[in-house]
Amino acid sequence: MAAMAAGRLLERARAPPHLRFNPFVLGGYRPASSGAGCLRSLFYLHNELGNIYTHGVPLVALALLVPGALPRAPPAVAWLGLGHYVACVSPPLASVVYHVFMSHRAGAGLYRRLLALDLGGVAVVNALGAVPIIYCALPCQPGPRGAALAAYGALCGLALWGALSATSRAGRLISFVGPALFRWTVVGLRGAVGLGARAPLAPYARMEALAVLGGLVNVARVPERWRPGAFDYWANSHQLMHLLVALSILHLHWGVAADLHWAAQHPCPTA
């Protein structure tokens, strides 16, 4: 079955138009198929297989790793751990669903919904991923903390709207600049003013650097831009972006785990 399906792979000119978004990937496109056919494509080589597994493997690893690294904390901190878990697994889970079913025979309409799901995963890690960073900067100041979280939530909502409205990868990347600048400001203030723990700041900085690098690689479409057709199956820009994003989420996890351990050990004084 897998060999038969692999033998039906399409060149770019014969692929459905909505799947021809990378002009430097010239072959290996799956033909339109049923949901079961999309699932069978997990087991033969095509130009989306690397995209599936470069987020599928990190998804399993994060799902298993994250819970055991978080502290057993009082309810005031435990809810942050649950949000952090959702933040870590949402982007790779949404990405896997998107890449598995993007060749479904339902066509461009379903593809647009799957793309929205994929962008939603990015929005979730942007929104929920930063909550512990902000919370642990102002752990005992509920008023300023609530205002900061509300402002950040509004920025994330605008970012998702912008990403869904954008017509290019560059436009989608630019949509998430606002939340990123907000996070950078919070992390910078934590380092400069001494808000919260210092240990998580280095992982947070590496998280941001890896995420930006991944976005730029994806927009630039390198290395396939330099040798069209040579990276159709492996080591193209989207796969490299997936790996960089997975590393970024891992550094987010390390930073948040350190923050939550610190918060659990430094409860706010009671009146």
For 48, how many CA atoms within 13 A lie in the half-sphere containing its CB?
26
Record: fold of 2-265: Rhopdopsin 7-helix transmembrane proteins (1.20.1070)
> What's residue 129's pLDDT?
96
Exposed, middle or buried: residue 145 (CB in 10 Å: 0-12, 13-18, 19+)? middle
The residue ranges of every structural domain in the chain are 2-265
CB 222 within 8 Å of CB 239: no
pLDDT in tens, the chain (271 residues): 454 455 689 999 999 999 999 999 999 999 999 999 999 999 999 999 999 999 999 999 999 999 999 887 677 677 899 999 999 999 999 999 999 999 999 999 999 999 999 999 999 999 999 999 999 999 889 999 999 999 999 999 999 999 999 989 899 999 999 999 999 999 999 999 888 899 999 999 999 999 999 999 999 999 999 999 999 999 999 999 999 999 999 999 999 999 999 988 888 876 5
Residue 176's Cβ-count burial label (10 Å; 0-12, 13-18, 19+) is: buried
DSSP 34: -
pTM, two decimal places? 0.94
Q: What share of the chain is helix, strand, coil (3-state, %, to 5)?
A: 70, 0, 25
The tokens 């692999």 sit on which residue? Answer: 6
Q: What is the pLDDT of residue 72?
A: 77
**Taking Cα atoms as reference points, which of 83, 88, 114, 57 lies closest to residue 239?**
57
CA distance between the termini of the chain: 68
How many whole angstroms separate alpha carbon 87 and alpha carbon 121?
8
